Structure 1
Amino acid sequence: MPLQPHLSADVSVVVIGYNDAAHIADAVRSALAQGPSVSEVVAVDDCSTDGTSELLDRLAAAEPRVRVIRREENSGGCGTPRNAGIDAVTTSYVMFLDSDDVLPPGAVDALLGAAREKQAEVVSGLCVRRELPSGREVPWQGKLYAEGAVLARPAHLPRLVHDTLCVNKLYRTDFLREHAIRFPEGRFPYEDFVFTARVLAAGPRMALIPDQVYVWNVRRSAGHLSISLDRSDIENWHARTEASRSAYDILLNAGQKELARAARAKFLDHELRMYARELGLRDAEYRRAWWDHTREYLGEYDAADWAVNPTASGRLLGRVILASPEPRDLARLKEFAARPSRLCPPYARDKDGAPVWADDLPQISLEPYLVRPLHVLPLAVDAELRAHASTSLLRLRLHDLYGRVASAGPEAVEVEWHHREAGRTVQHAAVPLTPSEDGTWSAETAVELAGLGAGTWDLRLRVRFTDGASREVTAHAHTGAGLLRRRVVPSVRYGVLLVQPYATHSGALALRLAAGLSGVTSVLRGRLSRLLHRAASR
């Protein structure tokens, strides 16, 4: 990202932190390293007790651009310290930075240059989620930032509601103040939802740039997960729905009906699917509370919210939940909430032969699947990996979907293993699909585990049909006959391999491999440590 030395100091970066002495210095330094465009870094300490405050004082003493604001009482959230930053900044533009994240080089110049050139009140750029400790980076809402764009009003691009982050954006300070745009005060998880809705409701001129402007560090192995990442308690779901409801109300009351409806669609496509995939991790009490609360929230939707694209996975998932007083079909819903969706059998029909979700839920019609394009259908493939000392085998079975698969003529399936941490891919040649007597199609291919190497591997498939059409799918992990057990197999290359096929949160087949005696020993030692920890905590 090239620097633009002609840009004058005109930006304040508000860094907020609470008890994060381990990371906040890196955040502040990444803001200072943006160069002369950053006039000041306003560091708001939310009443830390771990030395964060003293660390910020030392940074301020060494760098005149750092100004520290110390709150006397912890707010319990991110909104109040950010509001304090908005009140304190003295520059024309402001952006926000969390204490455990960083700004990549050139981020501020890219944002400020677009703000001035396009006369934009808000400029938004690409954020990447960096999974730590692996370092794997995943773009956040990458499609929005595939290329630059200028919008006279946010309503010209309703998909903007999907980017709820406040930190990958530069705001004209007067714009925020003139419209009294602030964060919710106190402990309010997902405060970004509300702030972003207030920004969009005010109808700013916006610019989108393809540059990477923010690194969101995700530390899932941390002792205490961040407020937004800790989804294990039902109160987190309550907070998520409340923030989504607030965003909808803000947009609707501002006359932004299209954006408001897009916000409700986004909840179905993102929030609902994400939490539904994780229901299998929760106990029965959580699942019942989640189900009841979700039905109550979805009851606020009107007919128009359900009418558009009724077979979109989130909408169909929501309609099944809304129509069912008791939790049901959790395993099937989990697979359907995957990306891409998998609609697993049984494939029910009503008394007239029309496709429906289930015999006892005929009001949930699947008839649109009879005419939907093949490349968007929620095809289901079962997969099992049989690890052996000689040759390991991957067996696949493709299900029909109300005759659509059979009529298209499934021809072959391309197999791909994707290394989750490194991002590299190992591909196999297309494997022919053979029809079976039960109306499915099967394929089998050898897997050279040593050729994959250590790490976590996701299985990705592409089903090809005789007319040239294709569909990317993931595969349901078959769990029978001990297929997901760990196995130690000999390897000419590594000596030994520890093989662990497993089902992801959405039920897809994935694979963990540990290579060599040291790798196997490390995994087994970690497993023993977790077992001892669980036993001690009982």
Structure 2
Amino acid sequence: MGRVSVVVVVYNDAERLPTAVQSALDQTLPDVDVVIVDDHSPDRSFEVAQELSAAQPGRVSAYRLAENSGSGGGPRNRGMAEATGDYVMFLDSDDVLPPTAAEVLLRAAQEHGAEVATGKAVRRELPAGRTTVWAPGLYDTDAGAVLPGSVLHGIGAHPEMLMDTLVVNKLYRRDFLKRTGLAFPSGMLYEDFVFTGRLYAAQPVMAVIADPVYVWHVRRAAASLSVSLHRAVIENWRDRVAAHGLVVEDLRSAGLGELAEEAQAKFVDYDLPMYLRELPQRSAEYRAAWWRITREHLAGFAASAFPRAKAPYRWLVRSVMALPEPPAPALLGRLVELAAAPPRLVPPYDGDRDRPLLGDGPTAVPLDGLAALPAEELPVTVEGTVTAGATVRVSLLLHELYGRLAELDPRTVRVELTERSGLRPPLVAHAPLSAVNGGWAAEVAFPAGGLGSPRQLTSWSMRAEIGHADGSASTTEVRAAEAQRRRRDTVLLPPGRVLLVRTHVSERRALMLRCAGGLAGARRAAGSVRRRLAGR
């Protein structure tokens, strides 16, 4: 069928390296070899790599860079240079390949004469084990993805592929890599963004499949966080912006001007709000530097790129560009909530129905496009107040939005509690909406006994779906009402059980419930709080 070389890069990860390598050797495709490249680790990573090579001569080879490259780009480039297979895949030392990954990707590539085959990457949070699909809109058919099973001749007709910035969920024909000169940049973070951008600029024939081909382990409590999780350092944002700039430049140089603008719109829709909603947690120095870097980057965007982005995130861009410095906490808080997914536009609502505004005074931003948004895209705000007892009640207030909701005539609300681990089924409650001054109100209730577990802490997020008279719906994360504060309630449940219910308000004012069942659960909850405080 063709031989596949799996390039495994490692830095300071001797303990997990054997598991990653074994997952490559255990592929159902028989002709797979492994190229390990150590990025000059201070631990025993290279010694372990040599031991693995000695144990599997001819199947595993080990190399070490003369000095640390500072990112994954250097060792991956070395791995590509040393690979001898007809095809190349990439694997990080703390992740694993599903057993059939190489086989299903190679079959798709060869059946369609594709230079690249790409499939589903699964994010697995450890130690809890919760799994989610990376870019579900592209690869998860259960989430409505339509591309699996198709063959793309470049991604110009499918700019949504720009959301996939991974290099590890793909198989590459090696002669294609050599012919195009594809390589990773050295010495910068987010080198995978740049490589993937260059891949798209090369317009390969690419087969898309729905099979899981990569398991990405997310260890949020790890001593050394991955690049994507280490966002509290301003260099992370600076390198992400630089990587995005290189992607746009490479697409333009390849004559793909429209795709370059789509990449800029993707930055507005995805990268910008993801970092902006974390700004209240950062230092004043970080916020000032972030604001300056972001304004400079956005100033270079094509004016025609912004209409491609979603309206609420265009409003974010205009607010950032209108303000030379980070705004005061009140306005920053409103921007943070507008950056949520989905966006929330919270009171006070400035301007009027004919000219809605975000903010007031000379830096106010017109909310262009609000009147044309369909119900499912409206940045509605539903506020909640929790009363905990044997029944946990949530009082809800849906705010009017410049008359848009009155036009739709909201009738019902469906509230869904989702447990973070993914191991518990969602809890759902329904209620009718009643008109009140400034909006609509309702109350939903959940049996407290269904929220806790004697074996683990449970953390529940809360979403509301508003049903309108015409059958349309608007969905939002429930926001904590201004009067709602973080609090703990001890609830007694029959027969003599204890449940600790903590009403939590996140930095972006999302309303959450955290529960611990029994005295042992309460002790675990207290220990979790102590560990979080100690880590600050």
- Once the two structures are TM-superposed, the CA of residue 37 in structure 1 deviates from its matched residue by 4.0
Equivalent residue, structure 2, for 1:308: 308
Please state how far the C-alpha of 1:533 moved relative to its aligned partner.
6.5
Q: Is the 8 A contact 1:21 1:51 kept in 2?
A: yes
Divergent runs of 4+, >4 A = 529-534
Shift of 1:252: 0.6
Shift of 1:506: 3.5
Q: How does 1:256-335 map to 2 (within 5 A)?
A: 256-308=256-308, 312-328=311-327, 329-335=331-337
2:481 counterpart of 1:487: no
* Alignment check: 8 A CA contact 2:322 2:363 kept: no
Q: Which residue of 1 aligns with 2:459?
A: 456
Aligned match of 1:376: 377
Task: Output the amino acid matched with 1:233.
Answer: V
TM-score, length-scaled by structure 2: 0.93
Contact 2:189 2:239 in 1 (8 A): yes
The structural deviation recorded for 1:345 is 1.0
Tell me the residue number matched to 2:366: 365
After TM superposition, give the deviation of residue 15 of structure 1 in Å.
0.2
| Structure 2 counterpart SS, 1:156 | coil
Counterpart of 2:43 (choices 35, 41, 50) is 50
Matched, 1:179 2:180: yes
Moved more, 153-162 or 188-197: 153-162
Residue by residue over 1:46-82, the C-alpha shift from the partner in whole angstroms, topping out at 9 and shown as x without a partner, is: 1222222222222222223111112221111100000
How do residues 39-438 of structure 1 correspond to structure 2 at under 5 angstroms?
39-64=32-57, 65-145=59-139, 146=145, 147-185=148-186, 187-308=187-308, 312-328=311-327, 329-349=331-351, 353-361=354-362, 364-388=365-389, 390-436=390-436, 438=437
Provide the C-alpha distance between the structure 1 equivalents of 2:410 and 2:89, rounded to a whole number of angstroms: 51
Partner amino acid for 1:486? R
CA deviation digits over 1:422-446, x for unaligned, max 9? 254333342011111x221111122
Question: Cα distance, 1:301 vs. partner?
Answer: 1.3
Question: Contact 2:2/2:86 (CA < 8 Å) preserved in 1?
Answer: no
Structure-2 residue corresponding to 1:467: 470
- Give the AA of the match of 2:476: V
1:531 Cα deviation (Å)?
4.3
Report the CA distance shift for 1:505/1:94 in structure 2 as closer, same or farther (over 3 A). farther
Deviation by residue 1:12-52 (Cα, 9 ceiling, x = unmatched): 00000011012111110111111344431001111222222
- 1:462-491 CA-to-partner distances (Å, cap 9, x unmatched) read 10112211112111122525x311222222
Partner SS state of residue 428, structure 1 = strand
Alpha carbons 1:46, 1:71 under 8 Å: kept:
yes
Q: Could you tell me how far 1:280 is from its partner in structure 2?
A: 1.5
Shifted more, 64-73 versus 22-31: the winner is: 64-73
Q: Is residue 5–residue 33 contact of structure 2 (8 Å, CA) maintained in 1?
A: yes
How far 1:325 sits from its partner (Å)?
Answer: 1.4
User: Could you say what secondary structure the match of 1:133 adopts?
Assistant: coil
- Deviation digits for residues 238-275 of structure 1 (CA, Å, limit 9, x no counterpart): 11100111111011111111221111111111110100
Q: In structure 2, what is the Cα distance between the partners aligned to 1:308 and 1:85?
A: 38
| Structure 1 gap segments, 5+ residues each | 1-7
Q: Report the counterpart of residue 5 of structure 1 in structure 2.
A: none
Q: CA RMSD in A?
A: 1.8
Distance between the aligned counterparts of 1:356 and 1:469, measured in 2?
25
In 2, Cα distance between equivalents of 1:250 and 1:217: 30
TM-score (norm 1): 0.93
**1:428–1:154 Cα change, 3 Å:** closer
Task: Decide whether aligned partners of structure 1 residues 493 and 470 sit closer, same or farther in structure 2, where only a CA change above 3 A counts.
Answer: farther
Q: Distance in 1 between matches of 2:216 and 2:501?
A: 32
Structure 2 unaligned spans of 5+: 140-144
Report the Cα offset of residue 307 of structure 1.
Answer: 2.9
CA shift at 1:331, angstroms? 0.7
Match of 2:142 in 1: none
Match of 1:31 in 2: 24
Give, in whole Å, the separation in 1 of the partners of 2:317 and 2:136: 25
CA contact 1:413–1:433 (8 Å) conserved in 2 = yes
| Count of paired positions | 521
Once the two structures are TM-superposed, the CA of residue 529 in structure 1 deviates from its matched residue by: 4.8
